[in-house]
Structure 1
């Protein structure tokens, strides 16, 4: 399971204002404004939390990365449902981190390292049939291209892609093919797969399909 970059397990865990905005159904600039007001109230230097990223137009933008304490302080002023979403996301992060620590114990001796390498090699061999089945059957059945998602919405793929561009789903800086923005991939809403002809194609997960439908309905793009 790929966790958002804001949840990297090998560094201090943070949540970006863009992720908070998405969870709380608010505009990123409004969440940034709330952050800045919080920093002033707490006597904190906003520059300590600033992070630069590039938007779909390749323009440099700023967001804030908050630890759990500041995240909870920020969303205390939001309603219960929105706070609950953020709390659940932090729980997912904690569970993921514990899982990683459990699965990857660091060897303390040469014999342990050799045994770990042997165990991993054996497991890879054992899992090959499962991996092949997943790639050929499961992934094919659970990933959808834009045309398939559009068909379920009774609109054209061209129309759907136009809406997705407006929602900043696609990375416009990549010209050779359509590719998802990193935040869309990090939230497990889609990924880039290679077709049998060798072309790269953005594919939506079932979670991504549900996200697209919810977004377009909420924005009145479809009924």
Structure 2
């Protein structure tokens, strides 16, 4: 079976932006950029899942990739200019999806055509596949949780219009910047490196601002500045007030 196309948890044939980038000979960064710039078009054919893959060496930055169904992958290929490599991969991808659908049809053959031993073997294979997928899912969730502080900013290309710095938020709340940073770490909004957790970004409480600076020895370095949104500031004021009440009690 062609590895370009696999099955997800619901037995739906899928491929990934990594496989497509490799197949058409484009950098994966440019492929994922095309998906994000046209996300509304892709989601007309279903929700797109984004997952994280660590570098093989363990030294590089984790890579975020998209999981695409047959219609979404076909749409993505229309954004690439045709050349011999792209045309060859289009045919290979179509063939891979066809083979996967054919394999699924064979698996779903009427049970009366199968012997009891065949049915037992299929049931065992199905259970083994379910357990394998469950283990992979748990492993991936654990990896995403561990990497969240370092990759949270990857999904944010600019700060929200109402976002303010932690120092400004501290002034509004009526405390100091260091005390507010400590409080944010205590309540699980930011990591020890003061980087927002992805869940708080997705909740609309925090945002990030990307910058760069010139290190005298190591050259250009990237900086990540945590920002507090209007929604986050409102929530923080409430939590800070409750904190003061607890201390007073």
Alignment TM-score > 0.5, same fold: no
TM-score (norm 1): 0.41
Greater CA radius of gyration, 1 or 2? 2
